[in-house]
Amino acid sequence: MRFCFSLLLVIAISFHTFAQAPAGFFNLDKAPKLGKMASFKASELCDVADKTQSYLNQFTEDKFAVHAGKVFDESVTLVKVEQTLEFICQTYREDVRAKRQSRLHDQEFLTTNFDFYRWTPDIATARKIALKSTNARKSSMLNAIPTDKIFLTKYYTKLLIASDVKTAVYNQALYSLPYDETGLTLAEANNDLTITRNKFTRQEVIAGVLEEKKLAKALIWLTEEALHDVLLQGTGVVEVNGQRRYFNVHRNNGIAYDYAIGKRDQARYWYFSEVPSIMGYGETLESKIAIRPQVSFAGNVDQLGLGKLFMVSYKQAGEEISRLGVLSDQGGAFDNNLFQLDLLVDSYFGWEDYHQANKDLPDYASAWLMLMKPPQKH
């Protein structure tokens, strides 16, 4: 969905540093301001870039994610996106072989080799969501998004203590797909509204309908609070009997995420599967991209297109910091959302651990889409 800017916003961003008058939310910036390149490892950025590029090459039929993007001009192409991801790893590997410092942390190298498209956030939609929200803090933060910065949220994989059997404390299960979906493809299952997965809301599952009717296998047992957290975040990193295990969302009940209400009131419910590591976007569980903290963004894959390389910049401890990450994950909160990126920061037991580690990261940041420049003609 595209939105028109108000006259005030057009005036505010029509400085000569941009190549042309704004035609959308992303515009070529001839003079991007890069801070100290920090807070990411080139090796991990390459790892996520490589796995995301593999998805783009292998799953071309995924029209939801594999495209150039729906909010850019014709200068942004899928070929350029793939070339950019490949160039990230080429640069990293050349630096390793040459035993030199990463050029992906070199401001001059980045401005020489990449085009930067400044992201102007969709303030209008953010304000509309703020009006509908019943969460006062969320409304306040959405209303405070500056005209020249995106909303930079942070997410983490929840470190959980769980039980392999139901107890008085651990009384809510992470369920695998219901038994009546065994052997069905995603398309077959989605077209059958009579299957168990499409019948029940989160609240009905929590009330015990699956357990009572023995409709699905319980993978592990959690507290109810932990269940709401992992349903929101999509991944659970779980310690069970001294072992660390990973669980990722598999398929949901078809109910959309409602950005205006809190996590306990959401009707959307996800069924899970055990996986080998933290996983990002993928049309199926088997195709999901393995992602890493500090270099992976979740965002509006539908409109932006999977695999975009973004730079975000912000002040931290009085210093301007810039960092790179790949759009390799998504979430229900990003439907029609062109004002936000969500940075995967790490795994924590809870809010206090997360907050202590990330309290100096700001809520808003300048953001640019980056594409490798075409090779120079000699």
Residue-wise burial string across 143-182, b where 16 or more C-beta atoms lie within 10 A, e elsewhere: eebeeebbbbbbbbbbbbebbeeeeeebbbbbbbbbeebe
Count of domains observed in the chain: 2
Residue 354 lies in a domain: no
Per-residue DSSP letters for 166-224?
--SSS-EEEE-S-GGGTT--HHHHHT-TTSGGGT--HHHHHTTHHHHHT-S-EEEEE-H
Could you tell me the end-to-end alpha-carbon distance of the chain, in angstroms, rounded to an integer? 41
pLDDT, position 2: 30
Same domain, 174 and 255: yes
Residue 85 lies in a domain: yes
Same domain, 40 and 98: yes
pLDDT, position 20: 37
Q: In this structure, what token pair is assigned to residue 189?
A: 């299952």
Determine the Cα angle at 29 with ends 93 and 3, to 5°. 115
Same domain, 191 and 314: no
Q: From CA 309, how far away is CA 368, in angstroms rounded? A: 9
pLDDT in tens, 104-133: 999 999 999 999 999 999 999 999 999 998
Residue 357 lies in a domain: no
Q: Which domain holds residue 145?
A: 7-149+296-344+366-372
Same domain, 137 and 234: no
pLDDT, position 170: 97
pLDDT, position 1: 32
Q: In this structure, what token pair is assigned to residue 235?
A: 């991944």
Q: Helix axis angle, 42-58 relative to 78-98, nearest 10°?
A: 140
Contact call for residues 25 and 302 (beta carbons, < 8 A): no
How is residue 287 annotated by DSSP?
A: G
CATH of the domain at 212: 2.40.240.50
Same domain, 143 and 248: no
Residue 262 lies in a domain: yes
Same domain, 209 and 81: no
pLDDT in tens, 310-326: 999 999 989 999 999 99
Same domain, 178 and 222: yes
Same domain, 205 and 115: no
Contact call for residues 27 and 118 (beta carbons, < 8 A): yes
328: Cβ contacts below 8 Å, ≥ 6 apart: 48, 51, 52, 280, 281, 289, 291, 296, 297, 298, 306, 307
Same domain, 321 and 205: no
Q: From CA 127, how far away is CA 143, in angstroms rounded? A: 6
Q: Which residues of the chain have pLDDT under 50?
A: 1-23
Residue 245 lies in a domain: yes
3-class DSSP state for residue 16? coil
Q: Give φ, ψ of 333 to 5 degrees.
A: -70, -5
Residue that the structure tokens 């039929």 belong to: 61
Same domain, 306 and 272: no
Q: From CA 94, how far away is CA 207, in angstroms rounded? A: 56
Say whether pTM exceeds 0.85. no
Q: From CA 354, how far away is CA 347, in angstroms rounded? A: 8
Same domain, 39 and 129: yes
Contact call for residues 344 and 156 (beta carbons, < 8 A): yes
Last residue of a domain, one of 244, 268, 287: 287
Residue 352 lies in a domain: no
Per-residue DSSP letters for 255-272?
PPP-TTS-GGG----EEE
Residue 122 lies in a domain: yes
Q: In this structure, what token pair is assigned to residue 18?
A: 């941009």
Same domain, 23 and 137: yes
CATH of the domain at 129: 2.40.40
Last residue of a domain, one of 240, 267, 287: 287
Residue 358 lies in a domain: no
CA nearest 248: which of 274, 266, 268?
274
Residue that the structure tokens 């809190």 belong to: 262
